[in-house]
Amino acid sequence: MRFFKENKIAYAVLYFTYKILPNIMFVAYPALLVAEFFIMGFGKEWLKLVLIPFGALVTATLLRILINEERPYEKYGIESVFGKKTRGKSMPSRHTVSAVVIAMTFLYVSVPLGVAALIAAFLIVLSRVQAGAHYLRDVIVGMMIGIGAGQLFWVI
């Protein structure tokens, strides 16, 4: 944590990937839904774009409540890079689940947009660990949920 607090450039990059990039993803997703609504209309394909990510987020939320794992800054008595104070609910990372399943949604709609979204999701995933908000296992499980839910686009 000290590295990011003492290095202004590293802090700025981490700030962007931890705070700004998730907001960009979470604004881009509703924009995608609106655009696709006008392209494909209300139907099974459009509903998949809404319901699969929603299901992934609900799954992650329920798992967090059931597992209620301490966060790294709680366990080790350190301060997270951005002063996060949330107690427990570390596993799985909902930011990770959301970013990955949103990226999978973009991938389903457009390969180039999906690849860009997957790169953004990967940066978000890394930032959750680097900032001290999650353990590596939290984001790995989150990625598995997001990718698993994303696979449903091609199966259903």
Average pLDDT over residues 74-103: 90
**Of the candidates 19, 135, 126, the residue with the CA atom closest to the CA atom of residue 67:** 135
pLDDT of residue 77: 85
Rounded to whole angstroms, how far apart are CA atoms 100 and 130? 18
Average pLDDT over residues 80-85: 82
| pLDDT category of residue 145 using cuts at 50, 70 and 90 | very high
The chain-wide mean pLDDT, for the chain, equals 94
DSSP result, 26-88: HHHHHHHHHHHHHHH-SSHHHHHHHHHHHHHHHHHHHHHHHH-PPPHHHHTT---TT-----S
